Structure 1
Amino acid sequence: MSDKTLVCRDCGQEFVFTTGEQEFYKEKGFTNEPTRCAACRKAKKEQNNRR
């Protein structure tokens, strides 16, 4: 595995999906790569918690 550069679906900025993060996703059984950068993931999580 190596670091991957992905594009955030919300803000369009590139972000790095590190080898460590990929291993964490695999360990947790996640099959999809993240579609949002860390900042947008945090904002989305906070938005969902307000409802």
Structure 2
Amino acid sequence: MADKTIVCKDCGKEFLFTESEQAFYKEKGFDNEPQRCADCRKARKQQNNNNRGFRR
């Protein structure tokens, strides 16, 4: 396995999917590569956490 460069589907920036991250994904049984960079994943997670408090 080699490091892979992936384009974030939200912001369009390239980010590195390292060999160790790929091994982690494989170990956990994840079939898909990440689609968002770390910043966009963090922002999306924060947005989801904020939205949970407003559900009725």
TM tier, smaller: over 0.9
Report percent identity of matched pairs.
71
2:22 aligned residue: 22
Q: Number of paired residues?
A: 51
1:8 aligned residue: 8
Q: Which runs of 5+ in 1 are unaligned?
A: none
The runs of at least 4 consecutive aligned structure 1 residues that moved more than 2 Å come to: none
Q: CA RMSD in A?
A: 0.4
Tell which has more relative contact order, 1 or 2 (C-alpha 8 A, sep 6+). 1
Residue deviations 1:2-51, cap 9 Å, x none?
Answer: 00000000000000000000000001100000000000000000000011
Q: Which runs of 5+ in 2 are unaligned?
A: 52-56
**Normalised TM-score (structure 1):** 0.98
**Normalised TM-score (structure 2):** 0.89
